[in-house]
Amino acid sequence: MRVTITASQLRLGMYISAIDTSWWEHPFWRSSFLLRRQSDLDKIIASDFQRIEIDTDRGIAPESAASLSDAASPQTAIAVDPLPAVAEPAAPEPAPVRVRPTRRREDAATRAAETVQRSKFAVRRMFGEARLGRAIKPADIAPLVDEIAASVARDPGAIISVCRLKNKDEYTYLHSVAVCALMINLGRHLRLDEREIRDIGMAGLLHDIGKMAMPDGLLDKPGRLDDQQTRVIRTHPEEGIRLLGDSDELMPIARDVCLHHHERVDGTGYPFGLTAEQLSVHARMGAVCDVYDAVTSNRSYKPAWSPSDALSRMMTWEGHFDPNVLSAFVGSIGIYPIGTLVQMSDSQLGIVIAANADEPTLPCIRRFYAVPDARFLAPKDGAARPAPHPDAILRPEDGDRWFGRDWPAIAARVLAGETVTGELFGATGHGAMPLIGMRAA
């Protein structure tokens, strides 16, 4: 007899005949098999599957399993409910993302790698079917987004690092997984609610689906694209909207990010040249996450930048990103490159002088400048503290905008532990301020 149970009711010795998932393509999930290994059981429990069909003629029945364990409660006991031929979750309200307990302690990076591997297959299939005209439904991809969200919750650094390791054949799919993870991580950092976080995760997963409509060979073409090829590749946001279709069911956030993730706040992006006030915060989040993953990945035409290098360079790209979103992103990644200029909550400027391995968002800061007084201070070192606190990092700053062309010399002196003195023209505040008379004390 076939019965449907939840993952928490699953026990070794049961025969799995089907798992209720629409998009899972990993061979493990497609097989019917006798559950013998604890590691397989752990993988299923760690996933977000709502229903699993077992065959009690070929394995142990739930009743006997329940008598061997303390997990099954009357409320969660067996529902004799065969899987429907077309399984679609009916409830539109997404469940909050939660991290399931695991029975076997596994290294976070290993688990992240497994998530990324499964996600890659699922995205490849999803994109392939979209190319063939099949409409994408949120319910189809919600389990995938939830698993990525769970991985981000366990260890954001692990999944983001694994996603950086792409070869050219899998770039588009893993890039989609990476942007999904980065968007979720940024959403959590911004304390968005879990429903919105799921929506922006979906948006990250789908943002480049239009690349499925690009001519063969164009996406991985070695070397620079010529003008005609560039014009074609720049149609991928609008092609993405075409592939997503006009289903009301599809999240508006996903459509927004798909269409606008290559816009820039100064109006020089594509496809429409929209400016900051015309772009949603989700589109601006997508732009930052998209570029960060692209530049930290090896491509056929350029090597990867390190995360700290990427953040440093992105912070200098005037007009490209929303500076507030970029600042939040830096905080969400938890990487402040050494030498980064930051403004503290008490309106002093400091330079990051050391990372904090245990608390990446709380590096060691050397303060050297008081903004209200427009004067340099004797260097003072201390670890950043979580907000709200005077020693909390308010945001990363652009040294060139504060100190002009003297910034490299000032940074070098501060990093060397020297006191800098000088006079500034103009009012204090955020903006370019020519510096004269600077000298080391």
**Beta carbon of residue 180, minimum distance to Fe ion (angstroms, whole number):** 11
**In this structure, are residues 172 and 218 in contact, taking their beta carbons and an 8 Å threshold?**
no
Q: Distance (Å, rounded) from C-alpha 20 to C-alpha 25? A: 12
Q: Which stretch binds Fe ion (CB under 5 A): 47-55, 90-98, 151-159, 203-211?
A: 203-211
Q: Which residue, 174 or 197, is less far from Fe ion as judged by CB?
A: 174
Crossing angle (nearest 10°) for helices 307-314 and 281-295: 130
Question: Binding-site residue total for Fe ion (CB under 5 A)?
Answer: 2
Restricting to residues 208-237, which ones interact with Fe ion according to CB under 5 A?
208
Q: Which residue, 146 or 290, is less far from Fe ion as judged by CB?
A: 290
Contacts for 356 with CB less than 8 Å, ≥ 6 apart: 362, 363, 364, 383, 384
Contacts for 285 with CB less than 8 Å, ≥ 6 apart: 183, 186, 187, 200, 257, 325, 329
Structure tokens at 218: 């164009």
Alpha carbon 54 to chain centroid, angstroms: 35
Q: Distance (Å, rounded) from C-alpha 15 to C-alpha 142? A: 26
Structure tokens at 334: 């938890």
Cis bond before residue 363 (omega within 30° of 0): no
**Beta carbon of residue 264, minimum distance to Fe ion (angstroms, whole number):** 13
**Beta carbon of residue 138, minimum distance to Fe ion (angstroms, whole number):** 20
Task: Show the binding pattern over residues 274-293: x = contacts Fe ion (CB under 5 A), - = does not.
Answer: ----------------x---
Q: Which stretch binds Fe ion (CB under 5 A): 200-208, 212-220, 303-311, 406-414?
A: 200-208
CA dihedral sign, ordered 137, 241, 181, 333: negative
Number of H-type helices and E-type strands within the chain = 16, 11
**Beta carbon of residue 239, minimum distance to Fe ion (angstroms, whole number):** 10
Q: Which residue, 239 or 290, is less far from Fe ion as judged by CB?
A: 290
Q: Which residue, 43 or 284, is less far from Fe ion as judged by CB?
A: 284
Task: Show the binding pattern over residues 332-351: x = contacts Fe ion (CB under 5 A), - = does not.
Answer: --------------------
Q: Distance (Å, rounded) from C-alpha 121 to C-alpha 108? A: 20
Q: Which residue, 237 or 399, is less far from Fe ion as judged by CB?
A: 237
**Beta carbon of residue 401, minimum distance to Fe ion (angstroms, whole number):** 28
Q: Which residue, 199 or 290, is less far from Fe ion as judged by CB?
A: 290
Q: Which residue, 5 or 209, is less far from Fe ion as judged by CB?
A: 209
Q: Which stretch binds Fe ion (CB under 5 A): 68-76, 159-167, 201-209, 367-375?
A: 201-209
Instruction: Give φ, ψ of 22 to 5 degrees.
Output: -90, -30
**Beta carbon of residue 280, minimum distance to Fe ion (angstroms, whole number):** 16
Q: Which residue, 54 or 116, is less far from Fe ion as judged by CB?
A: 116
**Beta carbon of residue 175, minimum distance to Fe ion (angstroms, whole number):** 6
256 binds Fe ion (CB under 5 A): no
In one letter, which amino acid is 207? H
Kindly give the pairing relationship between strand 420-424 and strand 435-440.
antiparallel
Q: Which residues bind Fe ion (CB under 5 A)?
A: 208, 290
